[in-house]
Structure 1
Amino acid sequence: MISPPTAPVPSLYPCEVVHVRVHPVRHALRRRTYLWLVDVDDLPRLPRALRPLARFEARDHFGGGAPSLRAGLDAFLAARGVTDAGGRALMLAHARVFGHVFNPLTLFWCHDRTGRPVCVVAEVHNTYGERHCYLLRPDPDGRADVAKEFYVSPFFDVRGSYRMRLPLPGDRLDLTVQLRRDDGTRPLTATVRGGRRPARAGSLLRVALGHPWSTLAVTLGIRWHGIRLYLKGLPVRPRPAPPTREGML
């Protein structure tokens, strides 16, 4: 398993998100944004004037009905038979900004009470308001493979698997998610790369001014690129019913 991070939390990560499709047409999406790394049991306490720029709410994750992020995470893990992840849990995600949030990928690095890494939970949201979680057991380099179970892009059906590289962020954030097909093709690779900044009021103001309405911009950017892909002739794949959300309150 992966080692604990050296970076303090909470931390901010201004970053670039890149999606590269190579099949059936080549297309690249690039956008700048920023993410938070937080402890789910010790969320940031911001001055009142800055609270509209960053809120973390349990309703935005897992089933949406848990009283806290920790409760939602614990319920999911318990449903998957994970009983030894009651220690520190670090979440990488967008915060709510002026009441809006959209997290294509949220990551939870889970530890036992001695600080030993136990697992990673990768929570995926699509633009249809659905969400799904994958339980991962990364190797020492942060790599894990998992079968694709959830409809995300309207241009890809639910086939194949993901190869994920998800090392805990330190001074650098460096994540990769690659879609792999059974025929050996790799039609999509997504990366998230950036550097850490301390989560102080001045840092938050700078990144918020540089990326105003950051989560809304993510949503609009995804929809705009979907329109471009459709105009390039990509067929829309039927959307199946989402998988059962066991343990997601």
Structure 2
Amino acid sequence: MTRVPARPRTPRPAPVRTPALYPCAITHVRTAPVRHTVRHRTYLWLIDPDHPPRLPRALRPLARFDPRDHFTGDAPTLRAGLDAFLAGHGVDLAGGPVAMLTHARVLGHVFNPLTLYWCHGPGGDLRCVVAEVHNTYGQRHGYLLHPGADGTAHTDKTFHVSPFYPVDGRYRMRLPPPDRSLNLTVRLERPDGRPFTATVRGVRRDATARTLLGLALRHPWSTAAVSAAIRLHGIRLYLRGLPVQPRPHDPSRERTP
């Protein structure tokens, strides 16, 4: 009797190793209604929300990971906030590992335009990605994504971010899990074109005290600088005649930093 060979198993991706630091360049390109490019450098953390990094006391002001800064802001831990969001969308990771890419709270200030969560099952299989978007009005919104094999996902835009675009269109997000490099793309697609693209490019560094101190010295008040840059370029676009779109009022999404 001829023995049929076993069907080869599809290897499951290993959960992303954490913690890590990613010095990175973030670029925003607007092509309509006017062309405008913004590029700035900062650094991001990749952490396990079940076990956030424990820093030496002297460095704690440079990196704090507070559950109040994510989702509803009232969960006891980072992981609890994520699990509550997932449960609201019918997703149960059964305790599987998560990798979270985010800005830390620095010297008491934080602003996270985009926080990403790569969510795995207990066996290491990638179940979904959560993209948590924050705007400059103190509001937050989470998108539940199911990327394909190339790390690309699509979702309708349902949250007001830029004062110059209405809440319409779709996002095309390419979000491969960070490894030695960070290579993310978020593109807004509307019926009349692709007016906005954001990219994040970085290289992994070990999350040591020396690395953190060096990045903090090169990018002091990093999250405040990101927030200020967004507002500054918004003023420039307004002075160039870009019309401001009405902001939908949604108190349920307003949070106190």
Same fold (TM over 0.5): yes
Residue aligning to 1:173: 182
Instruction: Kindly indicate whether residue 77 of structure 2 is the aligned counterpart of residue 68 of structure 1.
Output: yes
Amino acid at match of 2:234: G
Deviations for 1:127-153, whole angstroms, at most 9, x for unmatched residues?
A: 000000000000111100000000000
Deviations for 1:139-192, whole angstroms, at most 9, x for unmatched residues?
A: 111100000000000000101000000001000000000000023x00000000
Alignment of 1:111-150 (within 5 A): 111-150=120-159
Say which of 194, 198, 211 aligns to 1:186: 194
Deviations for 1:204-228, whole angstroms, at most 9, x for unmatched residues?
A: 0111000000000001000000000
Alignment of 1:221-232 (within 5 A): 221-232=229-240
Tell me the SS of whatever aligns to 2:79.
Answer: helix
Residue 4 of structure 1 contacts residue 168 of structure 1 at CA under 8 Å; is this kept in 2?
Answer: no
Alignment of 1:143-222 (within 5 A): 143-183=152-192, 185-222=193-230
Q: CA deviation at 1:230?
A: 0.2
Quick one: distance in 2 between partners of 1:137 and 1:85? 17
Deviations for 1:73-104, whole angstroms, at most 9, x for unmatched residues?
A: 01100010112353001100000000100000
Residue 145 of structure 1 contacts residue 163 of structure 1 at CA under 8 Å; is this kept in 2?
Answer: yes
Tell me the SS of whatever aligns to 2:194.
Answer: coil
Q: Percent identity?
A: 66
Which runs of 5 or more residues in structure 2 are unaligned? 1-11
TM-score scaled by structure 2?
0.92
Tell me the SS of whatever aligns to 1:225.
Answer: helix
Structure 1 residues 111 and 240: CA distance shift in structure 2, 3 A: same
Quick one: distance in 1 between partners of 2:94 and 2:202? 28
Tell me the SS of whatever aligns to 1:145.
Answer: strand
Tell me the SS of whatever aligns to 1:35.
Answer: strand
Quick one: distance in 1 between partners of 2:14 and 2:241? 45
Q: CA deviation at 1:113?
A: 1.0
User: Per chain length, whose mean CA-contact separation is higher, i.e. which structure has more relative contact order (CA < 8 Å, sep 6+)?
Assistant: 1
Tell me the SS of whatever aligns to 1:71.
Answer: helix
Structure 1 residues 200 and 5: CA distance shift in structure 2, 3 A: same
TM-score scaled by structure 1?
0.94
Tell me the SS of whatever aligns to 2:183.
Answer: strand
Residue aligning to 2:8: none
Q: CA deviation at 1:244?
A: 5.6
Which runs of 5 or more residues in structure 1 are unaligned? none
Say which of 7, 13, 21 aligns to 1:3: 13
Say which of 37, 60, 78 aligns to 1:51: 60
Quick one: distance in 2 between partners of 1:244 and 1:84? 26
RMSD: 1.5
**Pairs aligned (count):** 243
